[in-house]
Amino acid sequence: MLDIHRYELIDWDDPEIDDNPETNNLLHCQQADHLGGQAETIVYEIFYYGPWAEVEFTMQTAEYAVVGMGLANIWLVLLEDSPKRGDWLRPVTGWPAEPPEIREWEKATGQTWKGKR
């Protein structure tokens, strides 16, 4: 279970050090078929403004699956503990949430999403 309060910051890779979207989590998440150019803002808004919900999702490369609102949309973001520091949370990937994840978010938060379905 994700305890967001144990993390000091979000771990994004620096594109000036690693410019490969296969190994750089920021560049990967910024791809159009993932979170897009505002990936950092989306992840920030999910956790800062909330509410967000951890959801059941089959994962091979992440520890947590979170659904939340960012930039006026509902997103599914996969995260893991950073290998750099244990108190850093590292986004792995993400994309607009599908209806099943949105329903889980609504159930967990008690809110209703009035956006696209």
CA distance 102 to 81: 24
Instruction: Select from 64, 71, 76 the least CA-distant residue to 101.
Output: 76
Locate the domains of the chain by residue range.
21-109
| pLDDT, tens digit, 9 for 90 and up, residues 78-113 | 999 999 999 999 999 999 999 999 999 999 999 999
Q: Is the pTM of this model over 0.75?
A: yes
| pLDDT, tens digit, 9 for 90 and up, residues 73-84 | 999 999 999 999
Instruction: Select from 71, 57, 61, 69 the least CA-distant residue to 92.
Output: 61
CA distance 44 to 4: 12
Structure tokens given for 50 = 């909330």
Judge whether residue 117 has pLDDT over 60: no
Average pLDDT, the chain: 94
Structure tokens given for 29 = 């998440």
| pLDDT, tens digit, 9 for 90 and up, residues 14-38 | 999 999 999 999 999 999 999 999 9
